[in-house]
Amino acid sequence: MPGFELFSDLERKEVNDVLDNGVLMRYGFDGMRKGHWKAKELESELAKTFGSSHVQLVSSGTAAVSVALASAGVGAGDEVIMPTFTFVASFEAIMMLGAIPILVDIDDTLTLDPKAVEAAITPKTKAVMVVQMCGSMGDMDALRKVCDTHNLIFVEDACQAIGGTYKGKPLGSIADIGCFSFDFVKTITCGEGGAVVTNNKDYYINADHYSDHGHDHEGNDRGAETHPFLGYNFRISELHAAVGLAQVRRLPEFIAIQKRNYTILRNALAQVPGVTFRKVPEGGEESYAFLNFFMPDAESGLKVAEAFKTNGIDVCWNYYHNNWHYIRKWDHLKELKSLFPISKEVKKGLDYLKTKTFEQSDDYISRNMSCLIKLSWTEDEVKARAEKMVNCIKEVSIL
Cα maximum dimension of the chain: 72
* Continuous H helices in 1-120: 9-21, 38-50, 61-71, 89-96, 114-120
> What pLDDT is recorded for position 373?
98
Q: Which of 175, 166, 217 is nearest to 197 (CA)?
A: 175
Q: How confident is the model at residue 399 (pLDDT cuts 50, 70, 90)?
A: low
Whether the predicted pLDDT of 398 surpasses 80: no
> What pLDDT is recorded for position 90?
98
Answer whether the bond into residue 341 is a cis peptide, omega within 30°. Answer: no
Q: Is 201 exposed, middle or buried (0-12, 13-18, 19+ CB in 10 A)?
A: exposed
Q: Which of 192, 193, 195, 213 is nearest to 204 (CA)?
A: 195
- Annotated active-site residue 38? The verdict is no
**Distance, C-alpha 235 to centroid of its chain:** 19
> What pLDDT is recorded for position 397?
79
Residue among 126, 186, 279, 303 flagged as catalytic = 186
- Sheet of 194-198, strands arranged across: 54-58, 194-198, 177-181, 153-157, 125-131, 79-83, 100-104
Whether the predicted pLDDT of 127 surpasses 80: yes
Q: What is the pLDDT of residues 269-328, one digit of tens each?
A: 999 999 999 999 999 999 999 999 999 999 999 999 999 999 999 999 999 999 999 999
In whole angstroms, give the CA distance from residue 280 to residue 266. 14
In whole angstroms, give the CA distance from residue 71 to residue 199. 13
Q: Are residues 294 and 175 in the same domain?
A: no
Q: How confident is the model at residue 106 (pLDDT cuts 50, 70, 90)?
A: very high
Q: Are residues 243 and 303 in the same domain?
A: no
Q: Are residues 42 and 153 in the same domain?
A: yes
In this prediction, residues 15-29 reach a mean pLDDT of 96
Domain count, the chain: 2
Q: Are residues 101 and 156 in the same domain?
A: yes
Q: Are residues 172 and 107 in the same domain?
A: yes
Q: Which of 250, 278, 304 is the last residue of a domain?
A: 250
Q: Which of 250, 282, 311 is the last residue of a domain?
A: 250
In whole angstroms, give the CA distance from residue 241 to residue 15. 9
In this prediction, residues 194-212 reach a mean pLDDT of 98
Q: Are residues 232 and 147 in the same domain?
A: yes
What CATH number has the domain bearing residue 55?
3.40.640.10
> What pLDDT is recorded for position 239?
98
Q: What is the pLDDT of residues 251-266, one digit of tens each?
A: 999 999 999 999 999 9
In this prediction, residues 238-249 reach a mean pLDDT of 98
Q: Do strands 290-294 and 284-285 pair parallel, antiparallel, or not at all (unpaired)? A: unpaired
Q: Which of 215, 250, 285 is the last residue of a domain?
A: 250
Q: What pTM, to 2 d.p., does this model score?
A: 0.97
* Residue ranges making up the domain that contains 139: 3-250
In whole angstroms, give the CA distance from residue 236 to residue 195. 9
Q: Are residues 77 and 114 in the same domain?
A: yes
Q: Are residues 239 and 259 in the same domain?
A: no
Q: Are 327 and 82 in contact (CB under 8 A)?
A: no
Q: Are residues 231 and 96 in the same domain?
A: yes
Q: Are residues 165 and 260 in the same domain?
A: no
In whole angstroms, give the CA distance from residue 200 to residue 322. 36
In whole angstroms, give the CA distance from residue 154 to residue 59. 22
DSSP characters over 357-390: --HHHHHHHHHEEEEE--SS--HHHHHHHHHHHH
What CATH number has the domain bearing residue 352?
3.90.1150.10
Q: Are residues 152 and 182 in the same domain?
A: yes
Q: What is the pLDDT of residues 58-84, one digit of tens each?
A: 999 999 999 999 999 999 999 999 999
Whether the predicted pLDDT of 330 surpasses 90: yes
Q: Are residues 281 and 199 in the same domain?
A: no
Give the containing element (helix H, strand E) for 310: helix 298-310
> How far apart, in Å, are the Cα atoms of 119 and each of 102, 144, 147, 308?
11, 15, 12, 37
Share of the chain above pLDDT 90, in %: 97
